[in-house]
Amino acid sequence: MYYTQTAKDTLNASYRFIESRFGSAAADKFILKTEHTIKLISANPFMFKASSFDQNVRIGFVTKHTAIFYQVVEQNINLLYFWDNRQETLIKS
């Protein structure tokens, strides 16, 4: 499992946002849910759907508000970034 710098940055930003809005307990719970989702991805990399903008990028859901974008490359999983689902979409149809 490889975290890109963007994945690290967006995970930290999500944690800080949750912590500032809802407190440390909620932010820590978010990290536990993130770890759980990453374990699921590690066990079955293709369990989440491919994105509409790139078939090689998959979207795993951490919470109803947060998704993780990742890519499976040979035997490796690259965590690309975390996304707040309340934001405007990356690619418009």
What residue segments make up the domains of the chain, in order of their start?
A: 2-84
CA distance 70 to 6: 11
Neighbours of 51 (CB within 10 A): 17
Query: What is the domain class of 2-84 according to CATH?
Result: alpha beta
Per-residue pLDDT tens over the stretch 41-92:
999 999 999 998 888 999 999 999 999 999 999 889 999 999 987 654 444 4
- Quick one: 58 exposed, middle or buried, by C-beta within 10 A (0-12, 13-18, 19+)? buried
Q: What is the pLDDT of residue 37?
A: 97
Question: Is residue 14 over pLDDT 60?
Answer: yes
Q: What is the pLDDT of residue 84?
A: 85
